[in-house]
Chain A
Amino acid sequence: MIYGQWALVFNLLTVGVLAFIVANIFVSITFWLVKSKLQHYAVSTRKSLLWLLVLAPWLISLCATLFFSPLFQNGSIFVWLTDLAHWHHPDIFYFMSWHSASLLIFTSFTLYIFIRKITLLYRNHHQINLLRVLGIENSKQVYFIESSIPTAFTGGVFRPSCFISTSLVEQTTADDIKIIIQHELAHVHYFDPLKKWLFSFFSAYFANNVKQLLISMMSLSMEQAADSFYAENQQQSHNVASTLVKFTKLAASYSIHPQYNSELFVHFCRHSIEQRVLHLLSDKQFRPFPTGGVVIAIPLLVLISTTSVDSLHHVIETLFTH
């Protein structure tokens, strides 16, 4: 058991963890309810909304922690809220308590996620560097790699580069290659590998089905943004769509991953390619950023999470003692 400033810090961290869990549940429910509506927004808006969704639990948790801190608990403006949400004995912290256990579980989980993601990043960094050495630099950030696998991808988290295999160059027309390179350069421009990595880190805190959907939606949005990056008119959009289908047909004869046969995967891929082509062909007007909805939803989620922390605290302490 500790007293004073450090006890306050640990108690506030516990508040943060509880608020995070509550916010995560509410954000997941919100996402599940609005997920089908996201396709009505432009790609950039969709990307912003997805970022907002994965970052919302952190933001809400920060607000709740600040609210429970002496900064706000002593202020008279929030008296009505302090009646609803308050933390008992903030200057005493018991190490052998559920407060401490929840803090420990959250920290361990965060460490586990962090180590996994860092390991992935480290392995990828070395593999990309080696591929750069073995490839031939065609132009700035574009490498041709000698391989019989027709492939094109962008890799490198901090210094992204595009890799185009020689087999792809041999089997496609110069116009198609130009489109593919432009698509990959768009990923370089947006720093998509880094953003993908960060997004996967933040979405790791969600339940599996929510996490998978969040990641696949972000992935699709990034691909759609790259598809349209250099397409200035309808004609060019159609060319990109046509190249995409041609490339897919070509890649179909080179299945390099047995996992491609998985039900879930094929379904997702089909969905993804179709959606990308339809997006390129579509000329529909997208909805603007739902500023009103966001302005209402975030404070509401902050309020719900903050008050839920107090209720949760009371429920647990009624059932068990410290």
Chain B
Amino acid sequence: MLLGELEKQVLEYLWKNQPADAKQVHSYFEKDRGGSLNTIQSTLERLFKKDLLSRVKNGHAYQYFPKVARQELIGQLIKSITHDFVTEDENSVVAAFSSISSDLDEKQLDKLEAMIEQQRQKIQKNSEK
């Protein structure tokens, strides 16, 4: 999903100040970056269509709020992206440092750690000679 700079800023604003209507968002951005109310309205509409915002009608205006919290959205994305590792043949588009290892047993890892230490000491001894 592509997000423009203004869309990103609006989303960040709503994560901190929710809910808000187009006028409130516009008055916040008007001071720093200018732009018309129409621009803000269409930005909110686009974010709504991208399924990142929810809205409820309050009188004549919509009150917008993010569908999920920032951290939660990032968590969902990480889960979804790294999920590709754990399905049989879909591990095809991401490469992780250590993606599929959370159930390795502690003893096995301790053994590997001891092996690395042993090798280190061996090299150290050889270099001292």
Contact = CB atoms under 8 A, between A and B. Distances in A.
B39 interface: no
A269 B99 CA distance: 9
Interface in A106-150: 117, 120-121, 123-124, 126-131, 133-134, 145-149
Interface in A174-208: 180, 183-184, 187, 192-193, 196-197, 199-201, 203-204
Interface stretch (A12-20, A70-78, A271-279): A271-279
A104 to B, nearest CB: 24
Contacts of A249: 106, 109
B67 interface: no
Interface residues of A, number: 77
B79 interface: yes
B58 interface: no
A130 B123 contact: no
Chain B's interface size range is 35 or more
Contacts of A124: 81, 84, 93-94
Given A249-B109, A257-B83, A197 B93 contact: yes
A131 B95 contact: no
B104 A273 contact: yes
A281 B115 contact: yes
Given A153-B95, A183-B97, A134 B87 contact: no
A165 interface: yes
Contact of A155 (B90, B93, B104): B93
Given A235-B123, A265-B86, A154 B94 contact: yes
Nearest to B99: A153
A273 B1 contact: no
A131 B70 CA distance: 11
A196 B91 contact: yes
B1 A130 contact: yes
Contact of B100 (A183, A245, A272): A272
B92 to A, nearest CB: 4
Interface of A: 117, 120-121, 123-124, 126-131, 133-134, 145-149, 151-155, 157, 163, 165, 180, 183-184, 187, 192-193, 196-197, 199-201, 203-204, 211-212, 215, 219, 222-223, 226, 234-235, 238, 241-242, 244-245, 247-249, 251-257, 259-262, 265-266, 268-270, 272-274, 277, 281
26 contacts: A117-B92, A124-B81, A128-B81, A129-B1, A131-B78, A133-B3, A145-B78, A147-B75, A148-B75, A200-B90, A200-B91, A200-B92, A211-B89, A234-B123, A238-B119, A245-B116, A247-B98, A248-B101, A248-B104, A249-B109, A251-B98, A255-B103, A257-B82, A259-B87, A260-B102, A269-B101
